Amino acid sequence: MMNIFKKTILTVIVSFLLIGSAYAGKIKIGTEGAYPPWNSKDASGKLIGFEVELAWTLCRYIGQQCEIVEQDWDGMIPALIMRKFDAIMAGMSITAERQKAISFSQGYADEVASLAVMKGSSLEGMETSEGINLTTKTGAVKKDLKTLTGALAGKTVCVQTATIHQNFLESGDVGKVNVRTYKTQDEVNLDLAAGRCDAALAAAVAFSDYAEKSGKPVVLVGPTFSGGAFGNGVGVGIRKDDTDLLNAFNKAIDKARKNGDISRIAIKWFGFDASM
């Protein structure tokens, strides 16, 4: 009797080890699945979006099997560090602050941020330029920031937590605004539509995607933002000690760019070429 018991245990242990080793060659990629069109889920719960499709393409170039794992945005970097997965592809912009904790591949896509309000808001018709790059604060940029500071004073601006958008609002560039943070972009959109937010800040495509799908009168206002606190494009996040994987991703991105894969997938999901 005891013998059978021992044998069963041993079989279970051995089979676990075998399963473990079979999976060892897989690259696990973490994504949020809640930031369309970068990454999201379809009605059946399957992960879709620009980065999901790009991830499969990059894995093909790397020549290794991949698995895409879902992870809440606010725990993304800790989960990478704690080896729940090996790479992040979640619309994560390359910023100096994040680079203290993890490495980034070269950027594969870039896309501007924008403020959004509901139609009829007093913030509509703000007089600014089309877009500003915060890397060099020229006179024109300073003028726009001043206009924004005046318009947003005392207003509640909603953002997803731990994003470049939150960092920008808290940087003081637009004075003291009342920043309200949410776990997901979906929740930001819901509260913007409900009138709890005077404005919201996120990737411009996140708002146009929401306006299109929900039919809500969400409009973009003010200039589009890039550079500075908004980082240098979106790249693959990888653990600092994982240089082999970093090189593999950099090479794969080179190939995908040269073959036009990134542009093709970007146009499919964004409606324009956001590749870089």
Partner 1 sequence: MITSLPKLLSATVITLKLLSLSLFFGLFIGLLFAILRLNKNIFVNKFAYGYSYVFRGTPLLVQIFIIYFGLGQIEYFRSTFLWVVFKEPYWCAIIAFALNTGAYTSEILRSAFQTIKPGIIEAGKSLGISNKVIFYKIQIPVAIRQSLPAYGNEIILMMKGTSLASTVTLMDLTGVAKYIISTTFKPIEVFIVAGGIYLFMTFIIHNLIKFLEKKYSFN
b/e 234-270 (16+ beta carbons within 10 angstroms → b)? bbbbbbeebeebbebbbebbebbeeeebbbebbeebb
Between residues 202 and 266, which has the closer beta carbon with respect to partner 1?
202
- Best CA proximity match to 101, nearest among 75, 69, 71, 134: 75
Residue carrying structure tokens 């206009």: 147
How many residues bind partner 1 (CB under 8 A)? The answer is 21
Phi then psi dihedrals of residue 231, to 5 deg: 80, -175
Question: At closest approach, how far in Å is the CB of 71 from partner 1?
Answer: 13
Single out the residue of 183, 251, 255, 257 in contact with partner 1 (rule: CB under 8 A). 183
Between residues 155 and 183, which has the closer beta carbon with respect to partner 1?
183
Give yes or no for residue 78 binding partner 1 (CB under 8 A).
Answer: yes
3-state class (DSSP) for residue 231: coil
Give yes or no for residue 196 binding partner 1 (CB under 8 A).
Answer: yes
Between residues 137 and 183, which has the closer beta carbon with respect to partner 1?
183
Give yes or no for residue 75 binding partner 1 (CB under 8 A).
Answer: yes
Q: Please list every residue from 83 through 112 that binds partner 1, using CB under 8 A.
A: 97, 101
Single out the residue of 9, 12, 14, 81 in contact with partner 1 (rule: CB under 8 A). 81
Question: At closest approach, how far in Å is the CB of 43 from partner 1?
Answer: 19
Residue carrying structure tokens 């960092």: 167
Question: At closest approach, how far in Å is the CB of 82 from partner 1?
Answer: 8
Report the distance separating Cα 92 and Cα 75, nearest Å.
Answer: 13
Give yes or no for residue 161 binding partner 1 (CB under 8 A).
Answer: yes
Strand partners, 221: 115
Question: At closest approach, how far in Å is the CB of 193 from partner 1?
Answer: 8
Vertex 204 angle, CA 80 and 179, to 5°: 70
Single out the residue of 3, 194, 241, 258 in contact with partner 1 (rule: CB under 8 A). 194
167 sits in the region (left: phi over 0; alpha: psi -120 to 50; else beta) called alpha
Q: Which stretch binds partner 1 (CB under 8 A): 2-10, 54-62, 127-135, 185-193?
A: 185-193
Give yes or no for residue 180 binding partner 1 (CB under 8 A).
Answer: yes
Give yes or no for residue 195 binding partner 1 (CB under 8 A).
Answer: yes
Give yes or no for residue 216 binding partner 1 (CB under 8 A).
Answer: no
Report the distance separating Cα 261 and Cα 76, nearest Å.
Answer: 26
Report the distance separating Cα 121 and Cα 134, nearest Å.
Answer: 26
Q: How many CB atoms lie within 10 A of CB 127?
A: 9
Q: Site residues (CB under 8 A) for partner 1?
A: 74-75, 77-78, 81, 97, 101, 158, 161-162, 180-183, 187, 190-191, 193-196
